[in-house]
A and B are shown apart, each in its own frame.
Chain A
Amino acid sequence: MEKLLQVDDLRTWFRTSRGIVKAVDGVSFDVAPGKTRAIVGESGCGKSITALSILQLVPEPAGYIESGKIHFGGEDILERSWTDMRGLRGREIAMIFQEPMTSLNPTRTIGWQLSEAMTVHGKDAPAARARALELLERVGLRDPNAALRQYPHELSGGMRQRVMIAIALANRPKLLIADEPTTALDVTVQAQIMSLIKELQDELGMAMLLITHDLGIVSEVAHDVSVMYAGQVVEAAPTRDLFHDPRHPYTQGLFASLPARNRRGKDLMTLDGIVPDAANWPTGCRFAERCAHRLDACSAPPALHGSGTHRQVRCHLPSAMEVTK
């Protein structure tokens, strides 16, 4: 099937005083229309930067996209100018961020911000206002009429995240990028927010790139999973395959003790050892330091086996490579 989003060998780097930080260093994945791909991995492995790269919103001036290709709807959008990118942002590709407390402008009303999301892309003001009300109702705000005139600080975190969802979906995007949309919320509302997102995804038939730490959410929502480590994808597979048969030692570590049906609400396990410095990646396998199955071959960088197929592993171990045969 034709892919909606295709990221090829993306490298997003930062110029810093410590040298060049290669936060994203050769990441590839794709998202099919209407499907969900999850990206999981430890903190700092480059998930958010990957997401921001798609919208070309990498923090300037330090960050820049060094190389790679990002195709959206068949078009290489890295070729687009800043102005052309604007037409895509919020209309074709929308994003929900982790921090609902600060992602809304404190000096503007909810109604204003929701309307702006639509008027930016050419909807006239009265139509935008009408749809704003409709959207707030749809995302489950108790008193949508009052909420239109309220300011962000008057709403709870969960309500604010609902507003963020309404804003993101206002223009019926084809792709939603959700960067840990529930992490900052109370455990009790996390499930509600996630099922709201899922519901709206089905309703609008949009694809989703979901960044999360929650393996329970991954198993329920995602069709495919990419596991990131140290700026690279180390394993990618359909969700079921990955849960039943993780191949990369890192993935196995993450999923270690938990049987699949027991993983709801469980965060990724933390492994022993530390992630290498992004300004100075090891020349060989980046996981070797922490790997229990280390071989001599691991001092050379492993290739991504099965590249281009739906089961990919970046590892020298014969057992890992087998799956791709």
Chain B
Amino acid sequence: MSPTLLHLLYNLSPLALIGVAVVIFLRARQTPLWGEAFRRLARNPSARVAMAVIGIYATIGIADSVGWYDATTQERRTVIDAIFERKPERTYSAPLAEMTTGEAKPQKIREKHILGTDSIGADVFYRTLKGVRTAFQIGGMTVLIVTPLALLLGLTAGYYGKWRDDVITYIYTVLSSVPGILLQIAMVLVLGKGIIQICLALGITRWVGLCRMVRGETIKHREREYVRSAKALGVTDMVILVRHILPNLLPVVIISTTLGFSNLVLSEAILSYLGVGVPDNVGSWGNMIDAARDELARDPVIWWNLTAATGAITGLALSLNLFGDALRDAVDPRLRS
């Protein structure tokens, strides 16, 4: 298959993702629980701001996933590349500066750089944008690994109890007594650098919190009257778990997943900062922060690289947290504290 065609086919995955999201949203809106929750969300100003910000990030991430094959460089170019990529420039030019500073003979800067340039003369704004897709990839893929695992183990332990509960509780108690960051570093060192590897490393410890919660909720629901009625009708345990109890747990699972997502974005930065994060050739806020670690000590101070990366992380994590909290309030007003 020609690379041109192949790279066009790559565009199907972001489109499919959007399609799935829209379908899930529309179907959820039909149910009284979520329909009501969405209406409440839409009335909540801070949720609206958070959703707008997340929307902007998501748009950037998607624009960075839609692309084509560039025959001259023989590489994939995305919409973001086409719009925001700048030619290599002099290193450490300040945001919007026209002339370099800190040199005996100031040099002219060819293009405007909203956030200046970094140590190798790359546009900081462009690099910041390139971090968005990576953040979503890591957050999303880890959630996809963690959530099914946590659900499977949590539901099993909570519903069946006895030896299954003992085994699962034992595993996660041990896991949560080991410092997570050490386990993650060890995993990356064993598996090698790469996005999937990081997701696995993050996933190995991240399922514990959700699993514990799902187990607790399942124990509560196992004793509910509707479960007893289903049993009295001859419904199998498997069906009771998946089609009766699970739908009742979805709100808590979704809320905790949203909050966990923002946590993952931060964790990626920490791992990259420690030098065990994503490879250098993909955009990453953690790598930017890592590169900027001694720039603050320079004279004049190079503050824009660090500020851009930190700002981008904080903006996303904060909106996700705000959204998660608003969602919690919207789904169950009784949980409002």
Q: Which residues of chain A have a CB within 8 Å of any CB of chain B?
A: 55, 57, 59-61, 85-91, 94-95, 97, 99, 102-108, 116-117, 120-121, 151, 153-154, 164, 167
Contacts and interface: CB of A to CB of B under 8 A. Distances in A.
Given A59-B223, A97-B225, A151-B32, A106 B248 contact: yes
28 contacts: A55-B231, A55-B232, A57-B228, A61-B162, A86-B235, A86-B236, A89-B234, A90-B234, A90-B235, A91-B234, A94-B232, A97-B228, A97-B229, A102-B224, A102-B226, A103-B228, A104-B229, A105-B226, A105-B244, A106-B226, A107-B33, A107-B250, A108-B244, A108-B247, A116-B230, A120-B233, A120-B234, A167-B229
A99 B247 contact: no
B161 interface: yes
Contacts of B224: 102
Nearest to B162: A61
A99 B239 CA distance: 22
B247 to A, nearest CB: 4
A14 to B, nearest CB: 14
Contacts of A167: 229, 233
B235 A116 contact: yes
B162 A107 contact: no
Q: Which of A59, A87, A89 has the most CB atoms of chain B within a 10 A radius of its CB?
A: A89
Interface string B160-171: 011000000000
Interface string B211-250: 0000000000001111011111111100100001001101
B230 A121 contact: no
A57 B230 CA distance: 11
Contact of B225 (A86, A99, A108, A121): A99
A136 B232 CA distance: 20
Nearest to B247: A107
Given A99-B225, A102-B225, A107 B248 contact: yes
Interface of B: 31-33, 161-162, 223-226, 228-236, 239, 244, 247-248, 250
B36 to A, nearest CB: 11
Nearest to B237: A82
A107 B34 CA distance: 11
A102 B162 CA distance: 27
Given A87-B234, A120-B234, A104 B32 contact: no
Contacts of A103: 225-226, 228-229
A179 B235 CA distance: 20
Q: Which of A95, A153, A164 has the most CB atoms of chain B within a 10 A radius of its CB?
A: A95
B247 A57 contact: no
Given A89-B232, A94-B232, A61 B226 contact: no
Given A90-B232, A102-B224, A106-B226, 5 more contacts: A55-B232, A57-B231, A103-B228, A105-B226, A120-B236
B195 to A, nearest CB: 35
A116 B236 CA distance: 11
Contacts of B250: 107
Contact of B234 (A86, A106, A153, A164): A86
A59 B223 CA distance: 8
Contacts of A107: 31, 33, 247-248, 250
Given A99-B225, A106-B226, A121 B244 contact: no
Contacts of A153: 32
Given A106-B248, A107-B247, A95 B232 contact: yes
A52 B225 CA distance: 13
Contacts of B232: 55, 57, 89-90, 94-95, 97
B234 A61 contact: no
B230 to A, nearest CB: 7
B235 A120 contact: yes
A89 B233 contact: yes
A52 to B, nearest CB: 8
